[in-house]
Amino acid sequence: MNPRLKTVRRCFQASVLLGYPVLAWLNSQGWERLSGNFLSFSILGFPLADPLAAVQVCLGSLALPWKIVLGGGVALGMAFALGPVFCSWACPFGTLSDLAWSLRGIPSSLRKQGWRLKAVLAALACLALALSGLPPMLNHFSLPGWYSRIFQAWFNQQELALPGLLLLAGALGAEALAGRRLWCRYVCPQSLLLQLTHRFSPIGLRVRFDPRRCTCSRGDEQCGRACPLDLNPRMAGKGLEWECNVCGECTQACAKRGRSLTLGFGSGGS
């Protein structure tokens, strides 16, 4: 029997969460085959970059550095094919937030879309960059970026990035107290372009809903309670792609309830 999708996802999340401190230590010792942080990374010299960080660099310098463009393009290409799986499978803050949500065990009642707020905040910041030429300011609100930079500072005997540590702890504490994924849904700028790419990808991996196979009674929303982001998976094909990070939790909950929710490639929602 194949392992449960949730088990595989948790193992991958743990490997990233625990593996990055090890990588930061190896880099401090001179090993550079894999190096960098969640804003800019290198694999055997091949660049990877957070797409929004790449956009900010280009706007701030009014240039198109090929490594930056290529690195951001690779990340967007992955989102085009698989959706924003970085958020649900690799993001260290997403992992901590996901765990805090599941341990609290209280589903949120706030289902309003958060993508618009993130888009407005990011657009204003990018406009300010284009007009002023300031350094990329949204990088300071990248919690996975701070997670990696804190370990880089620690192992390189630099001053510990206290603001980043406080931001991580504050965001996680607010989510734990509220029982809602506030940062991931309403603030995080790093997920913005990944979600946008996923929304308009004609081939990407996404949740599909077939109402003809749904065996749940009215008010029975096991799939919704399973969603770490408190989304309504039954809205697949009707705007769910703006928010969904393709974690697969809803399809797992639906596996013994008619299998009306599945993961599949393509733009069809049902």
Q: Decide: residue 177, CB within 10 A, 0-12 exposed, 13-18 middle, 19+ buried.
A: exposed
* pLDDT in the model for residue 108: 53
pLDDT digits (tens, 9 = 90+) for 160-197: 778 888 988 999 888 877 777 888 888 888 888 899 89
Report whether 104 contacts 225 (CB < 8 A).
no
**Beta-carbon contacts of residue 10 (< 8 Å; ≥ 6 apart):** none
Question: Domains of the chain, with CATH numbers?
Answer: 5-201 (no CATH), 202-270 (3.30.70)
Nearest Cα neighbor of 259 from 267, 248, 268 is 248
Residue found by looking up tokens 């090993």 in the block: 31
pLDDT digits (tens, 9 = 90+) for 135-169: 777 888 888 989 998 898 888 877 777 888 898 89
Nearest Cα neighbor of 241 from 212, 211, 267, 270 is 267
**Count of CB atoms within 10 A of residue 78's CB?**
17
* pLDDT in the model for residue 224: 80
- Annotate 127-147 with b (16+ C-beta within 10 A) or e (fewer): eebeeeeeebebbebbbbbbb
Confidence bin at 33 (pLDDT 50/70/90): very high
pTM above 0.95, yes or no: no
Report whether 71 contacts 47 (CB < 8 A).
yes
Across the chain, mean pLDDT equals 84
The terminus-to-terminus CA distance of the chain in angstroms comes to 27
* pLDDT in the model for residue 2: 45
Indicate the range of 28-32, 113-117, 142-146 predicted with least confidence: 113-117
% of the chain with per-residue pLDDT over 70 = 92
pLDDT digits (tens, 9 = 90+) for 69-81: 898 899 999 999 9
Nearest Cα neighbor of 182 from 140, 223, 228, 245 is 228
- From residue 236, alpha-carbon distances to 5, 55, 66, 71, 268 in Å are 19, 29, 36, 30, 9
Confidence bin at 270 (pLDDT 50/70/90): very low
Residue 191 amino acid letter: S
Token pair, residue 246, equals: 């393709």
Q: Decide: residue 238, CB within 10 A, 0-12 exposed, 13-18 middle, 19+ buried.
A: exposed
Segment (H or E) for 67: helix 66-82
DSSP 75-108: HHHHHHHH-SHIIIII-HHHHHHHHHHHHH----
